[in-house]
Structure 1
Amino acid sequence: MKFQDLLWRKRKAIIFLIIVTVFGGIFATFKTPVALFPNIEFPRIRVMVDSGDIPANTMVIEVTKKIEQALRAVPNVVHVRSTTSRGSAEFMLDFGWGQNMNVNLLNVESTLNGILPELPKGSTFHAIRMYPTVYPAIAYSLTSKNHSLVELRNIALYEIKPLLLNIKGVANVQVVGGDKEEYHVLINPMKLYTYNLTMDDVIKSLSNSNIISAVGRLEDYYKLYLVVSKSQLHNIKSIEDTVLKTSTNGIVRLSDIAAIKKSTVPNWTKVVANGQNAVLVQIIQSPGGNTVKIAHDVGKKLRKFESKLPSGIKIAKWYDQSKLIISSAYSLRDAIIIGIILAIIVVLVFLRNLKITAVLLISLPTILFSTILLIYVFKMSFNIMTLGGIAAAVGLVIDDVIVMIEYIMRYIEENKDLEISKAIPRAVKDFLKPLLGSSLSTTVIFIPFAFLSGITGAFFKTLSITMAMSLIISFLVTVILVPLIARKLLIKGTNQERKNTLVDYLNKIYQKAINFSFRKPLYVYLLVIALIGLGIFSFKNIGSGFMPSMDEGGFVLDYVTKPGTSLNETQYTLSKIEKIIQSNKYVQNYTARTGLGLGGGLNEPNTGDFFIKLKPFPRPSVENIMNQIRNKIETTVPGIRIDMSQLMEDMIGDLVGTPSPIEIKIYSDNYAQLLALAPKAANIISKVPGVVDVKSGVVLAGDALNIEVNRSKAAIEGVDPMYVTNQLYQYLNGVDATYILESPKLIGVRVWTPQDFRQNITDIENLPIRTQDGRLIPLKRIADLHIVTGQPEIVHDNLKNMIAVSARISNTSLGQAVNRVQKVLNKSQILNTKGVYYEFGGLYAQQKKAFAGLSIVLISAVVLVFIVLLFLYEQFSMAFIILLTSLLALAADFIGLYITQTQLNITSIMGLIMSVGINTETAIFYVSEYKEYIENKSNIEAIIHAGKNRMRPIVMSTLIAILALMPIAINLGHGSDMLKPLAIAIISGLLAQLFMVLFFLPTTLFNIEKFKKRSS
């Protein structure tokens, strides 16, 4: 009571401090960055090595193995996967979670620099950390019917990009697609021969004719001059006038042997937006940036800029991550508001006191804004996990306030002769112990999450921290603020007992039911056994998954045509897919990339992707629409392999190294054996129901035209292979001889041969090769030309040969799909070959790790709750009975998941763990009441009295918790998909908790005491 008196004496300072805290929370609400997910440091580094055009099998020996062995020795590396193709190799390095990735990146770069001299000459590498922000957060397209792709690219690169880079939080602006202009000097080899010139002569002359260089300084009297030698090319005319040689016959200019025209850089990529050629502008945000604010600022600047665009150019948004963030935030905000409103209604119905309801109205904003202030102080963001944590905690924090208010009300009613100013402190003192125990039981369950690693820990640490902060603040507000407000509001209030027909009616029903359970305890235990049986049945029959899927409002369609397919042929195939996409009434817009990835990285011309944006709700689910489009493509567009996924889902998969739900990693020392087995395994699992988008993992490069110079024949003609190769490079690829400045850009000048000389293989055979004595000979005289089938990519997993057969799932759970795949693989015996073994990777492997980690968390939570109960009651038997009551109620969680067809995933398991604490909290309130009365009353009287007193607050708090979580459980606003399983699990446990605490627990206590008396 002294503590409460101290609080009352210091009430003005306390109230002022709370007001400051609330205003701080309001300020933090507008300053806290908004994102979709928490800012997570993924422990992954990607290394790309380029070594020209070395064949894949040679690359493995000369490059890949050396780098693999070196990188495997880098401190903290736990896994290395390499993919080797013609001239390039990619390495994915996984580190332990919680490592300093900046230091790890430096170690990787240092190791690569050390081994670089051992690699083929000209090899380069690029190492980057894998962030969620390596993918675009916002993206626009530029299209036009009357402006070229060169113009569109220039506008994007030189006007839009600088404009957007000034926005706070924007790390980079990628310009994807379009054409880059350059001058083509198309040399006629026959004229070159006539004037006794070589391509090297032309290249050298152009380079030497385009000079600007400081050559010194000149001091003349009182001035100092910088002396500059300047002779620059400006346009086609100045290029044509370039002097190649002089002789007695006059001057030979470039125009005498070549045609010069303005053209574009050779491009083997294509970008389309809604059927039109396009240039894409993709905004990459900084780690920790406020996505919503960035999207707003980008949109604002582009709307102003749009008025300055030349007529006929259209700029349109095709991706905006902030829309999904806002939708999720609004959904969770609405869930919080609805939960509070419903809580107030429940309090009014059960307590019938406006002043007491006012206590709740004052307490709740204090708790919520204090939590938001801590989120801001700890540099967290508003995201699905923090807002979800607040929404999920609303019912629990209200519970603390309600039970305190209800106890104060009852204490006043039972002590009518006592002044309210004295009754309230005494009520708080009496109730402090059970309140502390109940608060600890719900708070300690979050402690084990601090030790959870992997993607599960990365996501749910944020949720658990938010909820733990809310619960701690709730306890402090309940103990400090609630009594102060109640004392102020009720000082003149009535402490007459108010009749409540509903409560009286519930009490009568409960008294009859509890008396019956005392007489016939077998019925109670039969119901519990039935609950357990249904729980076991539900557990065995619910599907399992990794993380809940969200409807992001769009998806990515990756495609691969036959290796070596030309860009034009690929585009012809894609035109059929575009018609299918355009015909779907739920598609709002789309963009397509060929030879490029979504992040702008280069791919082969036979690969690419679509990003398809869907119309807002109401519409079918994204999975339903994906199935519609997939089925049409598979039946009407042969010769193409597709893979569909939502963007954020795919991004997280890439960041943790598990892009596909199902991945069968096949190992063998014989790579040829893997190449033969993988397609067979893919064919088998493609027939499994629910398994879609199957990939064999065998990736072939396109065919190559090999030109093998015969050294003997070449020597007879006076040339060597390198001399011939240099000429072929000049003929077929061209050489950038110099650049022309056309502010603000440099335009290259490419020395090349006309298309007529290199249209087909016959043209290549007849290319005129100039010998060192000035003669022209056809290439076929000294070289053999033949087509070589493309080599496959070579994959190593921790230095072992491996091919991964991967697949996605549709209309089934991950666990069910993997079980079916295992059965068909075991039945076929195809992978039971000597020297071959396989294991499952992908999201399924992540799921197994996550479930193992969460199982440890669950056990730890149970142990911690048991410790709290022991400290509270100092009796093993009582602690065991309470814990048993809580754990048996978990059976209802599985039943709820089964009834709602919700998968058992990391979110629903989080709900199971939280249910342990919530159920225990309710049981503590009941047992504390029972323990208070058992000293002065008989066992049955104490049990009945405890039930009578605790029935109202237990029903109130349970009902409020259920109603607070209901908006999340029904996915109100289509933004709380991630937390829906958690809400369903907790609600199911709460429903069972009513029976377990109000009937099973008292019946068990009654029978234990009865047994003790008989024994004595």
Structure 2
Amino acid sequence: MNIAHWASAHRRSILFLFSILVIAGMLSIYKIPEGMFPNISFPRISVAVETGDQPAEQMVIDVTRKLEQALRPIPGVQSIRSTTSRGSAETSINFKWGQDMQQVLLQVESAVNQALPSLPAGTTFTVRRMDPTVFPVIGYSLTSDKLTQIQTHDIANQELIPLLSSIDGVAKVKVMGGDTLEYRIDVDPSKLAAYGLAFTDVVQALSATNVLQAVGRIEDHYKLYLTLSDTRLQDLQSIENTVLKSGNNGFIRLADIADIHKDVKPAWLKTSADGKRATFLLVYQQPKSNAVKISHEMEQRLTDFKTKLPASLSISKWYDQSELVVSSSNSVVDSILIGVVLAALILLIFLRNIKITLIALLMVPSALAITALLLYLLGASFNIMTLGGMAAAVGLIIDDGIVMIEHLVRRIREKNSNKVPLDFRLREAAIEFTKPLAGSSAATIIIFIPLAFLSGVTGAFFQALSLTMASALLASFFLAWLAVPLLAEYLLKEKDANEKDTGDRFKNVQEFYRNLMAKLLDKPMWLLVGLIPIMLLGGYSYKQVGSGFMPHMDEGGFILDFVQKPGTSITEGARVVKQIETIIVNNPAVQTYSSRLGGQLGGGITESNQGDMFIKLKPFPRPTIDQVMSEIRNEINARVPGVEIETA
């Protein structure tokens, strides 16, 4: 018994199995994470160090070089690159592709901790892996006409971070911008000298007074009490009453030699949204999490929590990566629907049978559902590469179904074929077409397999595409090989087999094609003469076509980086940024924007003369993103001197 007869004997079980796989695939669609890019672990670790206001030259000696020496012995290190500025340094360590980056992360943290005692006192550091999740997926701005920047910063830090950090898939929520309250102490040098005190006495007195520490235990009435000494400075009066010196003549308070008042902590970062001072909330996702679900859950929580916030506080979203993911998903759905409709029209025109058309059309959603199931089992996600692969596979899936259906119909409609039972004719036709179908599918799959073995960043991205295409083609092959003939046995009857073909309707086309091929085969050199210019033209065109790592997309927004002259103060920089903001606001295609001076959306060391803006465009219809970027870039170059900009 061959495979066709075995499949026919067990057709109910086979179709039931395919039905289960399709249903499981449809359910898995809601379980697969959605994100902008594939889950890629780049072989790079970043170490950021902060030491206060130490000069850059001293930072290189005391921090950067010592840090590099501590990191170099880690196994697998290929290169180390550092950037140093006043009070901060950032070191990037590149490793070999394929290393376990989670283990490497622990090794880097251990090496930095071992080097920490040799670094200046008060040094702090952060270690992070460089992957797509190091960039925020959602950005909110907090603005108010009545609240101060101190109040908006406190609301973001004390209320919104705990609220949003507990959402499943959120790695962290970071506050950027705003002001922090502090108490400013202006010491009078003459009064200090008159009392015989030094500035260090003031520092020591404040440090010794502002402490919280355990002082011991007390047992009383069969109970144990843990005691604490809390002398922390809570308000302005407690700071003023800090004792600097005491003796027989009384004591000297801080208020006797200094002026103390509330102030704002000096900040080298200014943030704004739509021309207003703003505090930003940046949301970072965990690896393999679902950006779309995070966005929906975050919107729901903020909506429910708004009643507990001041009425004058406005929370606006200026960046949401999930919008592009949703747009890509909708594009895939559109391409599937268009492909199905066109395939249905073609099949109806050539085969003139609704049941035959239905069999072929069932191939597309079934194959894509099984593909989604395979992606779920393999731990993949929906992103621009996997969704693009599914969209590209639609045509190949339809092709497999059409060629199998066409062969089955052609065989059962042949002359004298009605003498043989219909189910036998279908089985024989399926057996005949097994080798061509298998060869065609295998050849196509083999084309995509090498993409999975590419190295570097290119390989990391194209592995997702290769995996998706291979999964879709495998699902398509088994559906066309087994499900289509079995469905034909169920749905097709003798009257379908006895219907006339459409050959007469295309007799003129067939006759023209027959005459053309006869002439070309009679004189094949003419065909070669015609192909050579086409090949040469193709080679020339290949050299003229531009290239890039990622396809160009209109994401509905772009980043504008700007750099002013070195040494520009934060105040002067803010004045220049206002000029740039005026140009952006007046562009009719701009919906909203956010601005950072002295900081960047992606983090990293940034000087006070640098910054960036994220500009979100209005929905279509509007000019393309390239046109908007060109307009804004040209206008800034013409109207704002002394600033270099770059858009991406």
TM-score range, shorter chain: over 0.9
Q: Secondary structure at the match of 1:416?
A: helix
How many residue pairs get aligned? The number is 645
Match for 1:281: what amino acid? L
Q: How does 1:561-572 map to 2 (within 5 A)?
A: 561-572=564-575
TM-score, with normalisation over the residues of structure 1?
A: 0.61
Counterpart contact for 1:333–1:387, Cα < 8 Å = no
What is the Cα deviation at residue 106 of structure 1?
A: 3.0
Identity of aligned residues (%): 48
Per the alignment, residue 722 of structure 1 pairs with: none
Per the alignment, residue 640 of structure 1 pairs with: 643
Per the alignment, residue 42 of structure 1 pairs with: 42
Q: 1:412 & 1:401 partners in 2: Cα distance?
A: 17
Per the alignment, residue 387 of structure 1 pairs with: 387
What is the Cα deviation at residue 71 of structure 1?
A: 4.1
Q: 1:599 & 1:547 partners in 2: Cα distance?
A: 19
1:69/1:517 CA distance change after superposition, 3 Å:
same
Q: 1:555 & 1:213 partners in 2: Cα distance?
A: 50
Per the alignment, residue 449 of structure 2 pairs with: 447
Match for 1:583: what amino acid? N
1:517/1:204 CA distance change after superposition, 3 Å:
closer
What is the Cα deviation at residue 115 of structure 1?
A: 5.3
Counterpart contact for 1:51–1:87, Cα < 8 Å = yes
Residue 321 of structure 1 pairs with residue 291 of structure 2: no
What is the Cα deviation at residue 208 of structure 1?
A: 4.3
Per the alignment, residue 186 of structure 2 pairs with: 186
1:591/1:410 CA distance change after superposition, 3 Å:
same
Counterpart contact for 1:153–1:177, Cα < 8 Å = yes
Q: 1:549 & 1:480 partners in 2: Cα distance?
A: 40
Which of 574, 578, 586 is the aligned partner of 2:577? 574
What is the Cα deviation at residue 409 of structure 1?
A: 1.0
Counterpart contact for 2:37–2:132, Cα < 8 Å = no
Residue 495 of structure 1 pairs with residue 497 of structure 2: yes
1:65/1:194 CA distance change after superposition, 3 Å:
closer
Consecutive unaligned residues of structure 2, counting only runs of 5 or more, are none
What is the Cα deviation at residue 413 of structure 1?
A: 1.6
Q: Secondary structure at the match of 1:459?
A: helix
Q: 1:239 & 1:91 partners in 2: Cα distance?
A: 40
What is the Cα deviation at residue 565 of structure 1?
A: 1.5
Q: 1:468 & 1:98 partners in 2: Cα distance?
A: 22
Per the alignment, residue 622 of structure 2 pairs with: 619
Counterpart contact for 1:176–1:600, Cα < 8 Å = no
What is the Cα deviation at residue 543 of structure 1?
A: 2.8
Match for 1:474: what amino acid? S
For 1:479-517, what per-residue CA distance to the aligned partner results, in whole angstroms no more than 9, with x for missing partners? Answer: 211111111112443322514244333212211212222
Counterpart contact for 1:388–1:463, Cα < 8 Å = yes
What is the Cα deviation at residue 272 of structure 1?
A: 0.9
Q: Secondary structure at the match of 2:591?
A: strand
* Mean CA deviation greater in 597-606 or 373-382: 597-606
Residue 268 of structure 1 pairs with residue 271 of structure 2: no
Q: 2:491 & 2:476 partners in 1: Cα distance?
A: 20
Per the alignment, residue 217 of structure 1 pairs with: 217
Which of 516, 525, 530 is the aligned partner of 2:528? 525
Per the alignment, residue 134 of structure 1 pairs with: 134
Match for 2:517: what amino acid? I
Q: How does 1:377-776 map to 2 (within 5 A)?
A: 377-414=377-414, 415-500=417-502, 501-601=504-604, 603-645=606-648
Match for 1:526: what amino acid? V
Counterpart contact for 1:206–1:242, Cα < 8 Å = yes
* Mean CA deviation greater in 74-83 or 183-192: 74-83
Q: Secondary structure at the match of 2:20?
A: helix
Residue 374 of structure 1 pairs with residue 391 of structure 2: no
Q: Secondary structure at the match of 2:500?
A: coil
Q: 2:384 & 2:461 partners in 1: Cα distance?
A: 9
Q: 2:238 & 2:123 partners in 1: Cα distance?
A: 37
RMSD over equivalenced CA pairs, Å: 2.4
What is the Cα deviation at residue 252 of structure 1?
A: 2.9
1:285/1:399 CA distance change after superposition, 3 Å:
same
Q: 1:290 & 1:270 partners in 2: Cα distance?
A: 31
Per the alignment, residue 105 of structure 1 pairs with: 105
What is the Cα deviation at residue 165 of structure 1?
A: 0.7
What is the Cα deviation at residue 188 of structure 1?
A: 1.6
What is the Cα deviation at residue 179 of structure 1?
A: 0.8
1:491/1:157 CA distance change after superposition, 3 Å:
same
For 1:621-665, what per-residue CA distance to the aligned partner results, in whole angstroms no more than 9, with x for missing partners? Answer: 2122111111111111111122221xxxxxxxxxxxxxxxxxxxx
1:69/1:601 CA distance change after superposition, 3 Å:
closer
Match for 2:148: what amino acid? S
Q: 2:124 & 2:278 partners in 1: Cα distance?
A: 31
1:136/1:481 CA distance change after superposition, 3 Å:
same
What is the Cα deviation at residue 207 of structure 1?
A: 4.2
Per the alignment, residue 286 of structure 1 pairs with: 286
Counterpart contact for 1:350–1:503, Cα < 8 Å = no
Q: 1:431 & 1:227 partners in 2: Cα distance?
A: 86
1:229/1:391 CA distance change after superposition, 3 Å:
closer
Q: 2:273 & 2:236 partners in 1: Cα distance?
A: 33
Q: 1:178 & 1:341 partners in 2: Cα distance?
A: 54
What is the Cα deviation at residue 257 of structure 1?
A: 2.1
Q: 2:361 & 2:452 partners in 1: Cα distance?
A: 33
Q: Secondary structure at the match of 1:99?
A: coil
* Mean CA deviation greater in 396-405 or 277-286: 396-405
1:251/1:95 CA distance change after superposition, 3 Å:
closer
1:635/1:417 CA distance change after superposition, 3 Å:
same
For 1:736-762, what per-residue CA distance to the aligned partner results, in whole angstroms no more than 9, with x for missing partners? Answer: xxxxxxxxxxxxxxxxxxxxxxxxxxx
Q: 2:52 & 2:161 partners in 1: Cα distance?
A: 31
Consecutive unaligned residues of structure 1, counting only runs of 5 or more, are 646-1016
Q: 1:477 & 1:342 partners in 2: Cα distance?
A: 20
1:610/1:202 CA distance change after superposition, 3 Å:
same
Q: 1:188 & 1:58 partners in 2: Cα distance?
A: 31
TM-score, with normalisation over the residues of structure 2?
A: 0.94
Per the alignment, residue 885 of structure 1 pairs with: none
